[in-house]
Amino acid sequence: MSKKKGLSLEEKRSRMMEIFFETKDVFQLKDIEKIAPKTKGITPMSVKDVLQSLVDDNMVDSERVGTSNYYWSFPSKALHARKHKLEDLQNQISEAKQRKESVQKAVEKAKVGRQDTKERSALLKELQALREERTQLQAELEKYRECDPEVVEEMRKSNVLAKDAVSRWTDNVFAIKSWTKKKFNFDDSRINKAFGIPEDFDYME
């Protein structure tokens, strides 16, 4: 008989948010430590860390009163936090686009030849940095897709906009690869192999 798979961190975070959204109440840590395992299947040992991660991401509010900490969160608070995070991600995508344009200009000025090894190397490093940042942005977007039913409808439009932004950013990476191939005669397999770009690298579904 196979072991039952435990909840992932994001599943725990999502279920803990359900506690706040469903009750619209204020809790102490000891309350959450009792409720979370019983109603949401979150292991007791992980309750404190999961709660703190939500506080750190501004998904849950926390206030110390006397010797006790109190925690609360409402759908409007979670919606605002997610929108703010998506705005930050979109700003990062915009900045990455500007860097891509700078790289394109550098490629246009670059000379084809062995004497340009340093410039080609710098360009490929920039491509690698763009690929890694894109991966990080996609991971962040996935993280902030966890939603309570009350928030899903309101977040749908924001998620679509963010997905479109990532798609445009993917265009940028492909554009840089195209410039690299044309100017320096690098083929896809060489670039992919050198920088670990997956063969199925493509747009988000």
Residue with the two structure tokens 């192999």: 193
Both tokens of 84, joined, read 């703010």
Mean pLDDT of 169-197: 67
**Mean pLDDT taken over the chain:** 73
- Average pLDDT estimate for 104-120: 60
Q: Does residue 65 carry a pLDDT above 60?
A: yes
Better pLDDT: 64 or 191 = 64
DSSP string, the chain: -PPPPPPPHHHHHHHHHHHHHHH---EEHHHHHHHHHHHH---HHHHHHHHHHHHHTTSSEEEEETTEEEEE--HHHHHHHHHHHHHHHHHHHHHHHHHHHHHHHHHHHPPPSGGGHHHHHHHHHHHHHHHHHHHHHHHHHHHTT---HHHHHHHHHHHHHHHHHHHHHHHHHHHHHHHHHHHH---HHHHHHHHT--TT-----
The pLDDT of residue 93: 73
64, β-bridge pairs = 69
What pLDDT, on the 0 to 100 scale, is given for residue 90?
Answer: 73
Point out the least confidently predicted range of 34-48, 49-63, 84-98, 153-167: 153-167
Rounded CA-CA distance 90/68 in Å is 38
pLDDT at 135 over 80: no
62, 63, 49: which is closest to 13 by C-alpha?
Answer: 49
Query: pLDDT tens digits, residue range 67-78?
Result: 888 998 876 666
pLDDT at 91 over 70: yes
Note the pLDDT of residue 73: 83
C-alpha 97 chain-centroid distance: 17
Full-model pTM: 0.43
Lowest mean pLDDT among 55-64, 101-110, 145-154: 145-154
